Structure 1
Amino acid sequence: MTGIDDTDRELIALLRDNARTSVAALALKLRVARGTVQNRLSRLERDGVIVGYTLRLKPQAEAHRIRALTTIAVEGNQGPDVLRTLRGHPNVSRLHSTNGRWDIVAEIQADTLEAFDRVLGEIRLVEGIANTETSILLSTLKL
C-alpha cells in the first residue's frame, strides 16, 4: 500500500472495525474535517486500496452453518489453477496462501453435515490438489 499515510491507516482501521461509521464520526475520531475524510475515502476507493464494504455476522447469527478450515497441499505449480477453481466455489468463503506443509487454507461453509460432506468431496476432486486436512470450527472466540 504505497502512498498511504498514518491518517489513511487510521481511517482504514476505523472502517475495519465498523464500515458503517459515518463520515462525520470518522472525522471526529481522526480530528480532521469531514471533507478530508470524504476525499481520502474517494482516493482510497479510486486507487483500489478500498475495494468494497462488507457485512460481518456474529457466528451465532448463522449457528446452523457448519464452518471448517481445510488445509490443502497443491501438486507442483498448479496453485493458481486450484485457487481459481476454489474462488468460484459457493461454499468457499475465504482463501489464504500459506507456507510450510500446506499451500492453501480454505474456510468452507455448509448448511448440513451432508452438504458439508458433498463440498469436501468436490474440493478433493479439484485437479491439482494432492492432499487435504479439514478441521470443523466449533466456536469463534474473537472476530
Structure 2
Amino acid sequence: MDELDRNILGLLGADARMSVATLARRLKVARSTIQARLERLETSGIIAGYTLKLGESAKQGRLRASVLLSIEPRAQAGVLQRLKSISEVEKVFTTSGRFDLLMQIACANTQVLDQVLDQIGQMTGVKSSESLIHLSTRIDRAV
C-alpha cells in the first residue's frame, strides 16, 4: 500500500458512496487509476466491503454494553459457538490480561440486556463476567 491507496481508503472511510470519478478528481489522478487501485484493494482483501455507518439518531433506543468474560481453559470454542446464536452480541474480541473475551452487545432495553447477560452467565465454560453500559459516544473513528 502506498500513499495513494491510503488516501483512497481515507476518502472512502469518510464517505463509502463516493464515486470513482469524485475520488479521481479529489486525488488528481485518472479515473482508470482509481478503478484499478480499488480492484486491487478489494482482491487483496484490504477492502472487505462497503457499508454504511449509522449516526447517533439511528442508534437511539439501543442500549449498548461491553461485557468482559473469563472462561474456563479450552472452553473458548464452545462459548464462541453459543455466543454466535445470540443476536444481541454484535462483536467478540479475544483479549490479553485477566479477561479472555470482550463483547459488544446492543439491546432494546435494560430488561433484554439483563436476559442476555443471564443467558451468557449460564453458559458452560463461563467463569465470570463484568458489564459496562455505554452512556455516550465521545470519539468514534471506526471505519
CA distance in 2, matches of 1:84, 1:7: 40
Determine if the alignment matches structure 1 residue 15 to structure 2 residue 12. yes
User: What secondary structure, in the 3-state scheme, does the structure 1 residue paired with 2:69 have?
Assistant: strand
Residue 101 (structure 2) aligns with: 104
Residue 37 (structure 1) aligns with: 34
CA distance in 2, matches of 1:28, 1:87: 43
Which residues of structure 1 form unaligned runs of 5+? none
* Native 8 Å contact 1:87 1:95 kept in 2: no
Corresponding pairs, count:
140
Distance 1:15 1:81, change over 3 A: farther
**Which runs of structure 1 show a deviation greater than 4 angstroms over 4 or more consecutive aligned residues?**
none
Residue 117 (structure 1) aligns with: 114
Taking structure 2 as the reference length, the TM-score comes to 0.85
Determine if the alignment matches structure 1 residue 72 to structure 2 residue 69. yes
CA distance in 1, matches of 2:118, 2:63: 15
**How far has the Cα of 1:33 moved from its partner?**
1.4
**How far has the Cα of 1:138 moved from its partner?**
0.7
Residue identity in the other structure for 1:23: V
TM-align CA RMSD: 1.8
More divergent stretch after superposition (82-91 vs 59-68): 82-91
Which residues of structure 2 form unaligned runs of 5+? none
Taking structure 1 as the reference length, the TM-score comes to 0.85
Distance 1:31 1:85, change over 3 A: farther
**How far has the Cα of 1:34 moved from its partner?**
1.4
> Which of 47, 52, 62 is the aligned partner of 2:49?
52
More divergent stretch after superposition (16-25 vs 105-114): 16-25
Distance 1:42 1:77, change over 3 A: same
